[in-house]
Amino acid sequence: MPPTHANAPGSEDRPEDRPADRVESETDLVQTYLAPLAAGSAGAFGLRDDAALISPEPGTDLVVSSDPIIAGVHFFIDDAPEDVAWKALAVNASDMAAKGARPLAYILTLALPDAPTRAWMTRFSDGLRSAQESFGCRLIGGDTDRTPGPLSIGITIFGAVPAGKFVPRLGAAAGDHVFVTGTIGDAALGLAVRRDASAFEGVLSDDERAFVLGRYLRPKPRLALAETLRNHASAALDISDGLMKDLARLAGPSGISLGLGSVPMSPAVGAALAHDAAVAKTVLTGGDDYELLVAVPPAAIADFKIGAERAGIAISRLGVLEAGRKFEIRDQHGTLIDGQQLGYDHFSR
């Protein structure tokens, strides 16, 4: 784990972090830094109740998802607090996008190894405010705790879809075409740069390095595509554990065969791959892209493409799901890669 930032929760006391600079109590933390994020949400009750109230609009279904992030697993302890906050909410908003849902509200569980400094909490709450304004939702409740373990941020997000329009992960059928949004592999390269500032020096320009690092630190949920998914997709999920693993999940009992050349890549990833062929595995198995994988029936493809264009979301076709076909991905040399064995897994050895 990288060195602890001076203002990060759990850092060693320093002269600038004397007790007067730290949050004094749980009530202080909630009311000073978190309650303002609930402003405008009547069901949040100013974060002074033990529960919150959501009143869904008539004719809609509620969609619920929860995706925590933990220091040393999903982010570095010395990442900027505003980036950590953004990522915590963004990865949950991405789940809403994949279901065709509009984010409504979220609850936050914040487990801290020590009382945070006021500077850290200010930056963290600013990051949450920026994220929730971008994603169209508000904080409505949660909990704060002291933990002997690393900093942990748990978010449960609530969204809404028109009744019966939820987009499942397992709805794809043989004959459906598979599309992916954006570009793949950027966040995996960004993680490499975050781990080692010298990674890809002389290969990527300063702008390219900043681009991939930004893609890792601040994923951008494809919420603008939600309506198009509801109307034209048979299945969808976001890419959190790597293209190959999540594509196998989407395909279900069907199979798909594609080559590395079908995978959309940014100029930065293309440059890294041209320099080192081993980057192919990073592109195919790295997580944290939070792009969307979408299965579309043939009859809906034209309308899906029109919807994506109107939403301003770039899409690329990966291939067609086929009954009785194995799941196959080939690298740039045509060598077969076992896609179902590769990808991020919290418990894999």
Residue 139: closest CA among 205, 45, 64, 68 = 45
H/E element, 296:
strand 292-296
What is the rounded distance in angstroms from the CA atom of residue 229 to the CA atom of residue 234? 8
Full pLDDT tens readout for the chain, 349 residues = 233 333 345 444 444 445 569 998 999 999 999 999 999 999 999 999 999 999 989 999 999 999 999 999 899 999 999 999 999 999 999 999 999 999 999 999 999 999 999 999 999 999 999 999 999 999 999 999 999 989 999 999 999 999 999 999 999 999 999 999 999 999 999 999 999 999 999 999 999 999 999 999 999 999 999 999 999 999 999 999 999 999 999 998 999 988 899 999 999 999 999 999 989 988 999 889 999 999 999 999 999 999 999 999 999 999 999 998 878 888 777 888 755 556 555 545 4
Q: Is 288 annotated as a binding residue?
A: yes
Q: Is 66 annotated as a binding residue?
A: yes
At 329 the pLDDT is 84
Angle between helices 118-135 and 81-98 (to 10 degrees): 30
At 155 the pLDDT is 97
Residue 190 CA from chain centroid, whole number: 14
Q: Is 95 annotated as a binding residue?
A: yes
Amino acid at 312: G
CATH code assigned to 15-162: 3.30.1330.10
Q: Where are the domains of the chain?
A: 15-162, 177-341
Distances in Å between the Cα of 93 and the Cα atoms of 36, 142, 225, 295 are 20, 17, 12, 20
At 338 the pLDDT is 58
Q: Is 74 annotated as a binding residue?
A: yes
Per CATH, which fold does 177-341 belong to? Answer: Phosphoribosyl-aminoimidazole Synthetase; Chain A, domain 2 (3.90.650)
At 10 the pLDDT is 42
Q: Is 344 annotated as a binding residue?
A: yes
Q: Is 216 annotated as a binding residue?
A: no
Q: Is 50 annotated as a binding residue?
A: yes
Q: Is 143 annotated as a binding residue?
A: yes
Amino acid at 148: P
Provide the 3-class DSSP secondary structure of residue 126: helix
Cβ atoms of 143 and 55 within 8 Å: the answer is no
Provide the 3-class DSSP secondary structure of residue 179: strand
Q: Is 206 annotated as a binding residue?
A: no
Q: Is 241 annotated as a binding residue?
A: yes
Give the strand order in the sheet containing 336-337: 257-259, 328-330, 336-337
Q: Is 303 annotated as a binding residue?
A: no
Cβ atoms of 184 and 273 within 8 Å: the answer is no
Q: Is 169 annotated as a binding residue?
A: yes
At 113 the pLDDT is 94
Cβ atoms of 221 and 96 within 8 Å: the answer is yes
